Each structure stands twice: as structure tokens, then as C-alpha cells.
Amino acid sequence: MLNEEILHRCFRCGYCKMPSNYTDLNCPSYLAFRFETYSPGGRMWLLRAWLDGKIQLSKRFAEIMFSCTACGNCTEHCPFPGFKNLLLETFTAAKGAFLDEGNVPSGVRDYLTRMQLHGNPYGMAAKKRAYWANESGIAPFAGQEYLFFAGDEGSYDTRGQEIARSAAKLLSKAGISFGILTGGENSDGNDVRASGETLLFEELAKKNTDLFNKNNVKKIITLSPHSFNTFKKDYPLLGGNYQVFHYTQVLAFNMGKLKFCENPEPVLATYHDPCYLGRHNMDYYSPRMILSAVPGLKIVEMDRNKQNALCCGGGGGNLFMDLMPSGDQSPARFRVREAKATGATIVAVSCPLCAIMLEDAVKTEGLAGDLRIMELSEIVNESII
């Protein structure tokens, strides 16, 4: 619920829109639009004015609220303990209030309708969810140690499917016992929750929880940090209690089981932290442990890394809502320019959503010959025998 008490505590110092050294802009929507109303503090004041009856709901107001990608930079950098942890919940509650009023951008409405009707943001048939694994030899879940959950992008997006197959292949090579469900799953709902549609989120979570429990699932490996986040933090509140791991967390401790090629060509790579593994769950190390074990691969950090990483702009449903500008001010294009400036030729990612966003940006920036977006498992698969 929107709480006026909370809104009054923001005094617009603006730290929340920057990284910790204050040398850049790090709220992706503020970076893209450059109006103060798109910054976290600006949003707080807009909401305060709305609750005070000084402004009305409008199309623009709704676009401002829904372009928040829930990246968590504001929560990380607002200096006020106690209050800062309520920022994201406040923005989510505001989106929920806008939904209740029926005042949402058409892209948001279409996204949520597809989720409601099909259980995924692509509007694809539920029975096609496991097609990504056809002919890959991945076993159906039948009591293996882990359930592997490919998530929406891994199940339906062509690029995401490649990544799902790559990560699953690597887990198999590392001797991990896992299987996949072959029908009946729904979206994890993480970004539905972030878009304020609480009831739809609970519906999706209940369907998944019922299915996981029916199959006696105890441990889950997720491909997407978004699935990881909500399975770990939100599902337990709805009766879904599992041990949840992002696949990099399992792989990082099993790298010794892989046999690497000898005398590899030296390569310079940089790593893009995804918000839902990094800032939201503070795991900056599993992916870096994996990369540091790859012979010949040298990591160079971007200026904004770990808790200061710039969001790719796709979170909170923004990959599907089409609210972010696609021009050279798009967060993903800023991010690939930052990656290029490191001299790296590979941008390593550990989230299929980031891979899709950044790959598009690399093409639009005309950097396709210079910079390759590679998911971590693809890097490792190319380096092992």
C-alpha cells in the first residue's frame, strides 16, 4: 500500500540515481529520459503530490512509474537506513494503485494480459514451454536432485533457448543431477510482481508451487536471476519452500569437474552483473569465480560493476512493455558503450534477459564485429573438452 509517511521522508538529495562514487547516472529510466520525474526521488515527489491531491493521474505519470525497471540502484544508494528498503515497495505499490485505477500504458496492459491468458509474456502456448529441450537429451524431472527451471526467456525466446541448452549441457558435464518439467509450468512471475500486479503474481506462483509440490521438488536451479529472486524470496511466503540456486552458484563449486582445452588464445572479457543476482541478492562472486577458472580469459571490470552495475533496462517487465527509448539514450546502449571502453571483446552475462537486451544494443550501436555478448555457460562450453 502507498504510505504517505514514507513518501514524506524523501528530501530529494538525489544519491539514489547515481552509483556510489557519484560520477555517473545509474537509475536506468532517469539516464534514458533525463527528466527529474524519472529519477527515484522525482517519483517519490510525484507520488506525494498525487496523494496530496495536487496532481491527477495521467498517461505520462503512468509511463514514468512503469519505466522503473526495479533495478534496485536506489535502494542500494539512498543514504537513509530503514527508509531505503521501502523505496522499491513504494514504487511497486504505486504501479498497483495505477492498475487499480485502470491507468496503465498499453504496453503494460498487453504484457499483463499475455501473462494472464498464457502464463508467459510471449503469448505462446503453455505446452510449448519445454520445446527448448527437444533433442537435447535433457531428462524429464523424475526425482533427480534438482529441478532445472528455464524461465520465460529460456523457454520461448530463440536466444534464451540457446542459453538454456548451453547451461543445461554444462551442468550435465559437471555431473549435476537434474531434470525439467515438461508441461504445466507458468512464468515465475517475478516481473509481474515488480509491475504491481500482486494478484496475478500470486496466481502464477500458486500454480507453480502446486506443480513443484506435486512433483516433490526440493531443490531448484534457475537459468534466470529473476526466477531465482522470486523463488527464493517470495514463494516461501506463499507456501513454496525450496532450496533455490542460480545455475552459476551450482556451477562455481563444480568447475573442478570440467576439463579445459590447453593453450587457449588469450581473451579479454568484461562481466555485466544482472540486477537480480547482484544488487537484489548480493552474489557478485559466483559468476566471477567461474570466469576466473577459464584458462586464457582475463576479466577487466567496467567502471560500474557489482553493486554499482548499470541495469540493462529490461527488468520490471520493461523487456516486453516498450516504455524505454530505443535511441542512443537507452540503458542497454549506454552499457555496451561502457563495455567497449574497457577494451574487452566479450561481454559475459549470466541472465538471458540481459543477453537479449545487450545483444540488441550491440547491433544497434554497430559494434557487432567488436563486441560479443556471451552467456557464462557459452564461454565455458567453448573452453572445455
Binding site for ligand SF4 (CB under 6 A): 10-16, 27-29, 40-41, 43-44, 68-74, 78, 80, 87-88, 91
**Helices and strands in the chain, H and E counts:** 18, 8
Write the CB contacts of 5 (distance below 8 Å, at least 6 apart in sequence). Answer: none
Residue 254 identity (one-letter amino acid): N
Nearest-approach distance from CB 165 to ligand SF4, in angstroms: 31
DSSP 311: P
Longest Cα–Cα distance of the chain, Å, equals 68
Which residues make beta-bridge pairs with 298?
Answer: 268
Residue 259 identity (one-letter amino acid): K
Task: Give the Cα separation of 359 and 77 in Å (integer).
Answer: 28
Nearest-approach distance from CB 28 to ligand SF4, in angstroms: 5
Helix orientation angle between 198-214 and 106-118, rounded to the nearest 10 degrees: 30
Cβ atoms within 10 Å of 247's Cβ, excluding its own: 28
- 3-class secondary-structure state, position 290: helix
Nearest-approach distance from CB 21 to ligand SF4, in angstroms: 15
Task: Give the Cα separation of 204 and 315 in Å (integer).
Answer: 18
Query: CB-wise, 80 or 131, nearer to ligand SF4?
Result: 80
Phi, psi of 13, rounded to the nearest 5 degrees: -70, -30
Give the chain's length: 385
Query: CB-wise, 68 or 269, nearer to ligand SF4?
Result: 68
Query: CB-wise, 154 or 316, nearer to ligand SF4?
Result: 316
Query: CB-wise, 62 or 168, nearer to ligand SF4?
Result: 62
Between the CA of residue 130 and those of 33, 89, 99, 113, 319, what are the distances in Å? Answer: 38, 33, 32, 22, 21
Query: CB-wise, 72 or 119, nearer to ligand SF4?
Result: 72
Distance of CA 164 to the CA centre of its chain: 15
Nearest-approach distance from CB 337 to ligand SF4, in angstroms: 19
Nearest-approach distance from CB 95 to ligand SF4, in angstroms: 11
Nearest-approach distance from CB 316 to ligand SF4, in angstroms: 7
Query: CB-wise, 95 or 118, nearer to ligand SF4?
Result: 95
Nearest-approach distance from CB 67 to ligand SF4, in angstroms: 7
Which residue in the shown chain puts its C-beta closest to ligand SF4? Answer: 41
Query: CB-wise, 70 or 290, nearer to ligand SF4?
Result: 70
Nearest-approach distance from CB 83 to ligand SF4, in angstroms: 7
Query: CB-wise, 171 or 309, nearer to ligand SF4?
Result: 309
Q: What's the angle, vertex CA 267, arms to CA 264 and CA 272, rounded to 5? A: 130
CB 61 within 8 A of CB 3: no
